[in-house]
Amino acid sequence: MFENIQLAFQGVFGHKLRSFLTMLGIIIGIASIITIISTIKGTNEQIKQNLIGSGSNIVNVQLYQNDWTVDMSYQTPDGIRVLRDEQRDEMLALDGVADVTIYRSRENVDGFYYRNTGFSGKLYGVDDHYFSVYGYEVRSGRGFTARDFASASKNVILDETAAQTLFGSDDPIGRIVEISGEPFTVVGVVSLKSSFEPKIDSVKDYAMYVQESSGLAFVPTSVWPVLYRFDEPQNVAVRATSTDTMTDAGKAVADYLTSHQIIASKATGDNSYSYRSDDLLKQAQQLQEMSSATNNQLIWIASISLLVGGVGVMNIMLVTVTERTAEIGLKKAIGAKRRRILAQFLTEASVLTGIGGLLGVLGGIGMSQLISKFMDTPTALSVPAILVAVVFSVLIGLIFGLVPAVKASKLNPIEALRRE
């Protein structure tokens, strides 16, 4: 075996230009496939991070009527119970759930002012778990205390964007803002502990990101009835134990809320309400599948060059058999068996395509890095794909080298020596 490999390397390096041209189809095919797979993997990771963020593992569970989220600005649905604090413990016990927060919210709040400056971001009525679930930390001032929740204090906490919008470079702590005609004192400014900036490549990406990048304001959930309705149902945010458990954890909490909080009217039989989780992981997988479907076609196209490379290997190995007819005849004359000749030429073909596969992998890695740098396209190397590419290139050598090897092994030693 080692002798065959040594002879194969001697044959390859003895005809460098011919060997390189023979390997060129393999090199181009493998390099193209590695580049495409790297781009697919990088794009998929970008899609996943754009939707989910960098390790946040947060799943929102909201109230729906049929296929639409219920907008509390316009209606307070009948037959929906308000969540109790002890129910949080029951949701915490569900599989895949690390933490739970119960909150209320308003989009594009009207009547939120500081002097003559208006704020139209999002307003949340939060419990004492909200900031820990979402990973907020206090940048200045303080967070909400147990007294704020117990006494329904008219205090508000802003994120950094909201603070900049309302106060510019001034210190917001202690300032009085007006929310729906009620005075609230700014007691703190918060921000996420680890910020995540999604990659924006299209108008769709921008629209999705803008929805999440508006300023935010938070008040204790106990003071929410002062601003809005007392019996307004809440939403829930779940922090899953890992990104992979987000779908199951969100569905478990949504099913719990639907079965425990919704009382369908017996008179009307209205079953249109339900709680549903924002299955961002599923959305990411759907977008990834759409992206991969197109790229998989490119992989098949790139594979054609591997077929061309295989034909080239077969052709050059047939030429090699013709050139080395006398050598084959001599080996068989002194006792070399047919399987020995077969193994020698199969090994040479495999070494030839194996070297081509390795060069193709290096070329694919280099091409993916260049594409990432100059075209600003995300790429990520796939070790399994690299290993499969190298093994596949060797298999091409075995498959397309089989015909020349069989031909060489069947040569009659007397005729082979006489042909010389």
Both 148 and 183 in a single domain?
Answer: yes
Rounded mean pLDDT, 320-339: 70
Rounded mean pLDDT, 267-296: 64
Both 329 and 267 in a single domain?
Answer: no
- Torsion angle of the four alpha carbons 129, 130, 135, 137, in this order, in degrees rounded to the nearest 10: -90
Residue type for 21, please? L
Instruction: Note the pLDDT of residue 208.
Output: 44
Contact 61, 69 (CB under 8 A): no
Instruction: Note the pLDDT of residue 267.
Output: 44
Instruction: Note the pLDDT of residue 191.
Output: 92
Kindly report the CA angle at 217 between 214 and 220, in degrees rounded to 5?
A: 150
Q: Has residue 61 been placed in a domain?
A: no
Both 36 and 72 in a single domain?
Answer: no
Angstrom distance (rounded) from CA 222 to CA 416: 98
Q: Has residue 55 been placed in a domain?
A: no
Both 42 and 93 in a single domain?
Answer: no
Contact 223, 151 (CB under 8 A): no
Q: Has residue 58 been placed in a domain?
A: no
pLDDT classification of 203: cutoffs 50, 70, 90 = very low
Q: Has residue 365 been placed in a domain?
A: yes
Instruction: Note the pLDDT of residue 392.
Output: 78
Of residues 75 and 419, the one with the higher pLDDT is 75
What is the count of structural domains for the chain? Answer: 2
Domain boundary residue, one of 271, 294, 320: 271
Angstrom distance (rounded) from CA 51 to CA 208: 9
Provide Rg for the chain, Cα atoms: 34
What percent of the chain stands above pLDDT 70? 75
User: Between β-strands 68-69 and 176-179, what pairing exists: parallel, antiparallel or unpaired?
Assistant: unpaired
Instruction: Note the pLDDT of residue 417.
Output: 58
pLDDT tens figures, 176-199: 999 988 999 999 999 987 654 444
Neighbours of 286 (CB within 10 A): 12
Lowest mean pLDDT among 35-39, 52-56, 257-261, 366-370: 52-56
Q: Has residue 7 been placed in a domain?
A: yes
Instruction: Note the pLDDT of residue 252.
Output: 92
Both 23 and 117 in a single domain?
Answer: no
Of residues 48 and 38, the one with the higher pLDDT is 38
Instruction: Note the pLDDT of residue 128.
Output: 93
Mean residue pLDDT across the chain: 79
Both 197 and 91 in a single domain?
Answer: yes
User: Between β-strands 216-220 and 155-159, what pairing exists: parallel, antiparallel or unpaired?
Assistant: antiparallel
Domain boundary residue, one of 271, 302, 324: 271
Both 9 and 74 in a single domain?
Answer: no
Both 241 and 320 in a single domain?
Answer: no
SS3 sequence, the chain?
CHHHHHHHHHHHHHCHHHHHHHHHHHHHHHHHHHHHHHHHHHHHHHHHHHHHCCCCCEEEEEEEECCEECCCCCCCCCCECCCCHHHHHHHHCCCCEEEEEEEEEECCCCCEEECCEECCCEEEEECCCHHHHHCEEEEEECCCCHHHHHCCCCEEEEEHHHHHHHHCCCCCCCCEEEECCEEEEEEEEEEECCCCCCCCCCHHHHHHHHHHHCCEEEEEHHHHHHHCCCCCCCEEEEEECCHHHHHHHHHHHHHHHHHHHECCCCCCCCCCEEEEECCHHHHHHHHHHHHHHHHHHHHHHHHHHHHHHHHHHHHHHHHHHHHCHHHHHHHHHCCCCHHHHHHHHHHHHHHHHHHHHHHHHHHHHHHHHHHHHHCCCCCCCCHHHHHHHHHHHHHHHHHHCHHHHHHHHCCCHHHHHHHC
Both 340 and 261 in a single domain?
Answer: no
Q: Has residue 42 been placed in a domain?
A: yes
Domain membership of residue 301 as a residue range: 2-50+286-419
Q: Has residue 281 been placed in a domain?
A: no
Lowest mean pLDDT among 89-103, 283-297, 341-355: 283-297
pLDDT tens figures, 284-306: 555 555 555 656 666 676 677 77
Both 168 and 239 in a single domain?
Answer: yes
Residue 157 above 80 pLDDT?
yes
Domain boundary residue, one of 271, 306, 332: 271
Instruction: Note the pLDDT of residue 38.
Output: 80
Rounded mean pLDDT, 125-141: 93
Instruction: Note the pLDDT of residue 207.
Output: 44
Both 203 and 320 in a single domain?
Answer: no
pLDDT classification of 94: cutoffs 50, 70, 90 = very high
CB-side neighbour CA atoms (13 Å) of 344 = 21
Both 244 and 311 in a single domain?
Answer: no
Q: Which residues contact 2 (CB under 8 A, 6 or more apart)?
A: none
Angstrom distance (rounded) from CA 241 to CA 107: 28
Residue 54 above 50 pLDDT?
no
Angstrom distance (rounded) from CA 127 to CA 105: 12
Q: Has residue 216 been placed in a domain?
A: yes
Q: Which residues contact 234 (CB under 8 A, 6 or more apart)?
A: 82, 83, 102, 103, 104, 221
